[in-house]
A and B are shown apart, each in its own frame.
Chain A
Amino acid sequence: MSPPIAPPGWSRWLVPPAALSVHLSIGQAYAWSVFKPPLESALGLSGTQSALPFQLAIVMLGLSAAFGGTLVERRGPRWAMTVALCCFSSGFLLSALGAATEQYWLIVLGYGFVGGIGLGIGYISPVSTLIKWFPDRPGMATGIAIMGFGGGALIASPWSARMLESFGADSSGIAAAFLVHGLAYAVFMALGVLLVRVPQAEPVARDDRAASAPTRPQVTAGQAIRTPQFWLLWIVLCTNVTAGIGILEKAAPMIMDFFAETETTVSATAAAGFVALLSAANMAGRIGWSTTSDLIGRKNIYRVYLGVGALMYACIALFGDSSKPLFVLCALVILSFYGGGFATIPAYLKDLFGTHQVGAIHGRLLTAWSTAGVLGPLIVNWIADRQEEAGRTGASLYGLSFVIMIGLLAVGFVANELVRPVHPRHHIPAPRARQEAADVERQQSESA
């Protein structure tokens, strides 16, 4: 394995594809639903049981990102990508064994537990490195990688479905599909392991603004969680993600319900098309809005996500059932903000806490995602069920959910307004920061 520190002349444009090779792979998690029906029929599982590997994987993603972040910072991106590759790939291989022997617990352990650790470590593995390579465009750099996580499901969903068609949807067919997934993702992610390099010195200032900027404050991950800024950003991310999931969770039934009592009803096929369009908006938002944040600033872009997002929800609630194009447009904008919120947060963290342990801080902040992952579906599903019980139909099933989402976005907007630069008492003294950076560099050289 070659040293992770970049040799002279190494192009920084080799780092985004390295990051993408990992994120496009682990993004497969969102395509787990392809395996659910075959697993249910082959192993006699309920819908709740077949969702277990995915749910455990998402829990492990949050936990490993939160607790493994500091280790990722210390050992470097190559180590992290190698761990992600081994965990994610062996998770599939264990699942293949589980399917072949019809031992479902092995699939839960493999895909959910082992694979989930790969998701968390893989998700944060390139963040810090990308920000160090692109100090002038951190939003764009992390946007490319995090867009990959959205893109992973776009690739895996049709690919896995075709594989199951070829191998068969019985237990041996599922085992063969898992085996191919494990091997193919190992090869695909290997590019990231081989290509990723940390810059020799930071920052690599590429424009006047970055070059003339004073030395940024550096804050450790342990200290960051003691600052109000961390928890304000936690609220910002949590509310923004909850609002996005509010649409994403029930997108297909929602559009059908909204227009069920109108002349322009929506078929199940068209609703599936709507869901696909939302995925495209989610992905485009990750790269588009995150790149825009480099131009207009992080605080301003979150004002847009949260403020305009609330307006879009209000538009759907008030006029959504009167115009299909308006409903679709508002939902697309909300989903683009959802993706943008994910992709912009590492750059926001870098602005506030510096590059020193930004990956570890990002890992801890991802607990907001886990919380939103529970909160968003809970609000929308619970309210829709209660409204249905009360005899309501159509758009009125969702009215109250939308009001709650607007309220949550307003809370996030206020939290964003309260974000101020971190107080100097939380900063690492400059000599210690330099010493710690030198220690990390030395450890990386020794471990290479």
Chain B
Amino acid sequence: MSNDSSQSPPDRRALIAFAWLWVGAPLGYGLYELVRKATQLFTG
């Protein structure tokens, strides 16, 4: 948020990746199951 020229803020890229993976993995599972079910409209 604020720019401190004397001290660079800690690198949070790993934390960001972990946080998005934490929520992205179950969401991916849900979407996979959804796509599997949705294809029944065209095959069922």
In the assembled complex, the Cα of A11 lies from the Cα of B13 at a distance in Å of 9
**Contact string, B5-37, partner A, CB cutoff 8 A, digits 1/0?**
000111010011001101100110111011101
In the assembled complex, the Cα of A204 lies from the Cα of B29 at a distance in Å of 34
- Contact A276:B38 (CB < 8 A) given known A17-B19, A191-B22, A270-B44: yes
Q: Verify A158–B30 contact, CB threshold 8 A.
A: yes
Judged by a CB distance under 8 angstroms, whether A167 is at the interface is: no
Interface residues of A in 269-312 (CB under 8 A from B): 269-274, 276-277, 279-280
Judged by a CB distance under 8 angstroms, whether A229 is at the interface is: no
Q: Verify A155–B26 contact, CB threshold 8 A.
A: yes
Interface residues of A in 246-284 (CB under 8 A from B): 267, 269-274, 276-277, 279-280
Among the stretches A2-10, A175-183, A376-384, A431-439, the one at the interface with B is: A2-10
Partner of A201, one of B1, B27, B41: B1
Q: Which residues of chain A are within 8 angstroms of B23 by Cβ–Cβ distance?
A: 17, 20-21, 24, 148, 191
In the assembled complex, the Cα of A201 lies from the Cα of B2 at a distance in Å of 9
Size bracket, chain A contacts = 35 or more
Judged by a CB distance under 8 angstroms, whether A328 is at the interface is: yes
Q: Looking at the assembled complex, report how far the CB atom of B9 sits from the nearest CB atom of chain A, in whole angstroms.
A: 2
Interface residues of A in 316-332 (CB under 8 A from B): 328
Judged by a CB distance under 8 angstroms, whether A370 is at the interface is: no
- Contact A14:B33 (CB < 8 A) given known A24-B27, A155-B27: no
In the assembled complex, the Cα of A24 lies from the Cα of B24 at a distance in Å of 10
**Contact string, A62-81, partner B, CB cutoff 8 A, digits 1/0?**
00000000000000000000
Closest B residue by C-beta to A274: B41
Partner of A14, one of B12, B27, B39: B12
Q: Verify B1–A272 contact, CB threshold 8 A.
A: no
In the assembled complex, the Cα of A114 lies from the Cα of B40 at a distance in Å of 37
- Contact A151:B30 (CB < 8 A) given known A276-B38, A328-B41: yes
Q: Which residues of chain A are within 8 angstroms of B38 by Cβ–Cβ distance?
A: 273, 276-277, 280
Closest A residue by C-beta to B31: A154
Partner of A273, one of B2, B8, B27, B39: B39
- Contact A10:B40 (CB < 8 A) given known A21-B22, A21-B23: no
Partner of A154, one of B4, B22, B33: B33
Partner of A155, one of B12, B16, B29, B35: B29
Q: Verify A155–B19 contact, CB threshold 8 A.
A: no
Q: Verify A17–B20 contact, CB threshold 8 A.
A: yes
Closest A residue by C-beta to B19: A17
Partner of A9, one of B10, B22, B29, B34: B10
Q: Verify B20–A270 contact, CB threshold 8 A.
A: no
**Contact string, A375-410, partner B, CB cutoff 8 A, digits 1/0?**
000000000000000000000000000000000000
The 4 closest A-B pairs by CB, nearest first: A9-B9, A273-B41, A269-B44, A273-B40
Binding site for A on B (CB under 8 A): 1-2, 4, 8-10, 12, 15-16, 19-20, 22-23, 26-27, 29-31, 33-35, 37-44
Known: A151-B30, A276-B41. 12 other contacts (CB 8 A): A9-B9, A9-B12, A24-B26, A157-B33, A201-B1, A204-B1, A273-B37, A273-B38, A273-B40, A276-B37, A280-B31, A280-B38
What are 16 inter-chain pairs, A to B, with CB distance below 8 A?
A: A17-B16, A17-B20, A20-B23, A24-B23, A151-B30, A154-B27, A155-B26, A188-B22, A269-B40, A270-B40, A271-B41, A273-B38, A273-B41, A273-B43, A276-B38, A279-B34
